[in-house]
Structure 1
Amino acid sequence: MRRLSTFLAAVAVAATSLVVTSGPSSAAVTLPPLRGVLDYQIGGAYTPASNVQIVIRDVSASPASGKYNVCYINAFQAQEGHDGDWQSDLLLRDANGNKVVDPDWNETLLDLRTADKRTRVAAKVNTWIDQCASKGYQAIEPDNYDSYTRSLSLLTAAQAQEYIKLLSAYAHSKNLAIGQKNTPELAGNRVANGLDFAVTEECGEWEECGDYAGPFANRVLDIEYTDSGRAAACAEWSGRISIVQRDLLVVPAGTSGYVRKTC
């Protein structure tokens, strides 16, 4: 996991973006620029470099002027400290009634085991998608698609895909593209699931970039967190996919620990 006007943004990316019909909604969306220079700003917004074409920011932030903007939302887990924002039965619990928590980020997983619960979770997440659309974003990045792999086998890949189909249909109805976050094992199902591009973490480090590049026709936004991962991604994929290295906490420029490097 991990973490403007609409007219100006559209003009800036028109030469490299593609308007497509994708997903169950059959709505037209604008894809990220192919091989566009990327900045990943989910830990805090700052002015991107002039050559940056694609910016990913948290839903709480405003888009960057003149760029293609992707709106980050945590769609499969509750933000740390925000379990109370969810109805209790939508928080995943084990047989003993204990909440199932992502140990890396201390986030409770959302319960997607029934169609009713998936619909109810999606209804809340759709309000964030509405915010993305109203602010002028062109796409969304729903994080933690792979949360089923951390669910103590309580959730399945099939349930995750049925849920993301709800999000993709709604995003497309708002003329927003939607990215698949990580989860290379499901990349081959991207058309059926209504997913338009990929946002990957450390595909160079884990030698997974090809798992996404094929199904998504190289429309891949890769974030690396180490020099070795960036070097591996750049050595094989520079000029084919978008690659940026950021610090693990993706802090804003000017903050201690900030890192941003490209190929």
Structure 2
Amino acid sequence: MVLLLLAACSGPSPAPDPVPTRPPGARWQPEPGTAWQWQLDGRVDPGVDVPVYDIDGFVNTAEDVAGLHREGRKVICYVNAGAWEDFRPDAGDFPAALRGKGNGWPGERWLDIRRLDALRPLMERRLDMCRDKGFDAVEPDLVDGYLHDTGFPLTAAHQLAYNRMLARAAHARGLAIGLKNDLPQIPQLVGVYDFAVNEECAQYDECAALTPFIRAGKAVFHVEYALTNAEFCPQARALGLSSMRKRLDLDPWRKPC
């Protein structure tokens, strides 16, 4: 592990991770085109008839997850991996030195992802929560801090090391893991992530960057907020994305392609 982290932090052009070999069925991996629901606002509303739900890992209970499983659904656990949130029950576990600038959302500050020693156990406890509640996968949010003004001198190499650490930790717990946004690092990370989650790739003309996941047989769960379905669905269908329109607060409403 130490050698891998050192390799990730040195050199201008990290090599792509190889696609791992594993026995069939060892870990859930959603296929391209799989329909989904993404609800982060409050306890889950289970009334949408789709095979995959992505819901908040703290707000929802093991009973909520079990109820979705009884309906034959897979469930993804949303956790914030890139920012400290003052409203989470484990907020006090994050040392003040790890907290950087605000990220625009109330009560949130970017994390210093260079500090793998401090963040790894904190994120592992969150992944333990997802596993113990019965989730099938995890969606770690804000894993592209190096592209933002965080208050820390983050580099692409720091981000690769952090994102690879998250993938290893999730897989060690039997959880699939999705890469959230971070389009520039898809070539390096598609081999170790099981699916992708993207916001507004059509809005910013970036959807083609997600095709490595599709070619690898892995789903790309995609939402747009501002565009109408007529504006983004034709391209989304052509690329094989699992696309829908959502409101920014991610309540139960959805309009799929």
Query: Aligned pair count?
Result: 222
Hey, what's the Cα distance between the residues in 1 that align with 2:151 and 2:21?
Answer: 30
Matched-pair contact (CA < 8 Å) for 1:209–1:233: no
1:179-210, Cα deviation, whole Å (9 max, x unpaired): 11001111111146x21211000112222121
Q: Percent identity?
A: 28
Query: Distance in 2 between the 1:23 and 1:226 partners?
Result: 39
TM-score when scaled to structure 1?
0.77
Shift of 1:159: 0.6
101, 116, 131: which one aligns with 1:133: 131
Distance 1:37 1:187, change over 3 A: same
- Note the C-alpha offset of 1:120: 1.7
SS at match of 1:223: strand
CA distance 1:23–1:200, shift in 2 (3 Å): farther
* CA shift in 2, pair 1:191/1:133, >3 Å: same
After TM superposition, give the deviation of residue 156 of structure 1 in Å.
Answer: 1.3
The residue number in structure 2 matching 1:175 is 174
For 2:128 and 2:152, locate their aligned partners in 1 and report how far apart those are by CA, in whole Å.
32
Give 1:233 shift.
2.8
Alignment partner of 1:109: what SS? strand
Equivalent residue in structure 2 for 1:79, among 77, 81, 85 = 85
- Specify which of 13, 32, 35 is matched with residue 34 of structure 1: 32
C-alpha separation in 1, matches of 2:187 and 2:141: 18
* CA RMSD in angstroms, aligned pairs only: 2.3
1-side partners of 2:20 and 2:230: how far apart? 33
Distance in 1 (CA, whole Å) between partners of 2:21 and 2:103 is 29
Cα distance in 1 for partners of 2:130, 2:247 equals 25
Deviation for aligned residue 1:166 = 1.2
Shift of the 90–69 alpha-carbon distance from structure 1 to 2, 3 Å rule, reads: same
Question: In the TM superposition, what is the alpha-carbon distance from 1:54 to its structure 2 partner?
Answer: 1.1
Q: Does 1:49 align with 2:48?
A: yes
Cα distance in 2, alignment partners of residues 81 and 147 from structure 1: 20
Quick check: 1:260 aligned with 2:254?
yes
Runs of 4 or more consecutive aligned structure 1 residues displaced over 6 Å after TM superposition: none
Partners in 2 of 1:237 and 1:102 — Cα distance?
Answer: 29
Instruction: Give me the whole-angstrom Cα distance separating, in 2, the residues matched to 1:75 and 1:153.
Output: 16
Shift of 1:102: 0.8
Of 181-190 and 28-37, more deviation after overlay is shown by: 28-37
Question: What's the offset of the Cα at 1:175?
Answer: 1.2
Q: Which stretch of the first structure deviates more once superposed, 126-135 or 237-246? A: 237-246
SS in 1 for 2:231: helix
Within 5 A, what are the aligned runs for 1:233-248? 233-238=232-237, 240-248=240-248
Change (3 A) 1:48 1:242: farther
Out of 232-241 and 176-185, give the one that drifted further. Answer: 232-241
Matching of residue 88 in structure 1 with residue 86 in structure 2: no
Cα displacement string for residues 110-145 of structure 1 (whole angstroms, at most 9, x for unaligned residues): 1122xxx21321211111111111222111100001
Structure 2 match to 1:222? 222
Q: Do the aligned partners of 1:23 and 1:172 also contact (CA within 8 Å) in 2?
A: no
- Counterpart of 1:159 in 2: which secondary structure? helix
TM-score by length of 2: 0.78
- 1:232 to partner: Cα distance: 3.2
Change beyond 3 A, Cα 1:81–1:138: closer
Measured after TM superposition, the shift of residue 33 of structure 1 is 3.6
Question: Does the 8 Å CA contact 1:73/1:140 hold for their aligned counterparts?
Answer: yes
Unaligned residue ranges in structure 1 (runs of 5+): 1-20, 93-99, 253-258
Query: Distance between the aligned counterparts of 1:22 and 1:233, measured in 2?
Result: 32
- What amino acid is aligned across from residue 243 of structure 1 in structure 2? S
What is the CA–CA distance in structure 1 between the aligned matches of 2:127 and 2:94, rounded to whole Å? 17
8 Å Cα contact 1:112-1:118 kept in structure 2? yes
